[in-house]
Amino acid sequence: MIYSNSLIAIELHESTIPWLKIFTHTPHKEFSECSMEEKKMIWEAIDLIEKEMLSYFKPEKINIASFGNMLPRVHWHIMARFSHDSHFPEPMWGTKQREGSDQIAPIKPFLEELKKKLSVTFG
């Protein structure tokens, strides 16, 4: 767990790329079921995570997705994508394109800085 408060939780997804997930604590099935406070916090967290990923990792693209087909509850994926990652330009749950390169900055310093910024932003 990277961050948690009364409305949302943010966790690291095990992957070869930087990949975080945001969940609501209340198990809503659809985003439209979320309170305005939850929606606002999710968007603010996505925005903060995206900006931090862009600044730290310098990826080709940030992917943001919310499917919920396998886990039918509100959650969002935020992924830093690189032309040398194993699936680029396909989605990470799509067909593997190549053996990925590990030429990505270490994630631990990123997570430590992100935790600080999340705590300042959301308390």
Number of domains in the chain: 1
pLDDT greater than 80 at residue 10: yes
Q: pLDDT of 78-121, one tens digit each?
A: 999 999 999 999 999 889 999 987 668 999 999 999 999 999 99
* CA gap 63, 85 in Å, rounded: 13
Residue 102 pLDDT: 65
The domain spanning residue 75 has which CATH number? Answer: 3.30.428.10
Q: pLDDT of 36-80, one tens digit each?
A: 999 999 999 999 999 999 999 999 999 999 987 777 899 999 999
Which residues form the domain of 33?
3-122
> Is the bond leading into 72 cis (omega within 30 degrees of zero)?
no
